[in-house]
Chains A and B, each alone.
Chain A
């Protein structure tokens, strides 16, 4: 049973560098979501894909952030010119299409630390 896979698990980088994270959803899940979780808080929605189409971006997602899902399978989240405030856990989730009450399944996240 393969769940949602995220890579890397941890990323440490210097302020100003670019970083890219990858998410592989559960196969045949056509919906994919990115969330950000800071220490002591619940996850906050960043963006949502249905197949390859990015249908919503949160205002939290500044123009330094970009997400893609080119073939409707895996997704990447890139942060350019990282800042201290970008330090967080970045979570990916996926769910099947169809009925709207299907739960989202989460990966273990990528923890980003900005030095």
Chain B
């Protein structure tokens, strides 16, 4: 079946530091890939997506590139802010018969200190 593996957290950074959160996946066919962010007490918000190999998703300074050869979708941001503190989830949606449900990683807690 489909699966997503994220780097273990928590990740603690100082403001303006560079962020990378690793995500790799296992899936058949051509899945779509997503990063969601969850702030305390809230639901998940879509951060960015990529639907085919070599696509780069970007939003609010965050970027991730769909790498089929390494089955990866790492999240990066060049300069984090305190307001970026949240839990980040990598997710995939399979192709073919299971192309509606999302499979999530366990999430990575990011804390950014001033």
Whether chains A and B associate is yes
Q: Which of A100, A103, A108 contacts B42 (CB 8 A)?
A: A108
CA A23 – CA B102 in complex, angstroms? 18
Contact residues, A36-57 vs B (CB, 8 A): 40-45, 48, 55-56
CA A56 – CA B13 in complex, angstroms? 41
Interface string of B15-45 (1 = CB under 8 A from A): 0000000000000000010101000011111
B45–A106 touching, CB < 8 Å:
yes
Given the known inter-chain contacts A56-B101, A109-B43, please indicate yes or no for A101 contacting B89, CB distance below 8 A. Answer: no
Q: Which residues of chain B come closer than 8 Å to A104, judged between CB atoms?
A: 46, 102
Quick check: is A21 within 8 A (CB to CB) of the other chain?
no
Please tell me which stretch of B68-76, B78-86, B103-111 contacts chain A, meaning at least 4 of its Cβ atoms lie within 8 angstroms of it: B103-111
A33–B45 touching, CB < 8 Å:
no
Quick check: is A25 within 8 A (CB to CB) of the other chain?
no
Quick check: is B58 within 8 A (CB to CB) of the other chain?
no
Q: Which residue of A lies closest to B4 (CB)?
A: A42
A108–B91 touching, CB < 8 Å:
no
Tally of contact residues, A, Cβ under 8 A: 25
B43–A108 touching, CB < 8 Å:
yes
Interface string of B89-101 (1 = CB under 8 A from A): 1010101000111
Q: Which residues of chain A come closer than 8 Å to B44, judged between CB atoms?
A: 43, 91, 93, 106
A103–B106 touching, CB < 8 Å:
no
Which 9 A-B residue pairs are closest in the complex by CB-CB distance? A42-B104, A106-B43, A45-B101, A108-B43, A106-B44, A101-B51, A100-B99, A103-B46, A101-B32
Extra pairs beyond A33-B101, A56-B101 (6, CB < 8 Å): A4-B43, A33-B102, A42-B91, A48-B100, A56-B100, A106-B45
7 A-B Cβ contacts within 8 A?
A33-B101, A55-B100, A103-B46, A103-B49, A104-B102, A105-B46, A108-B43
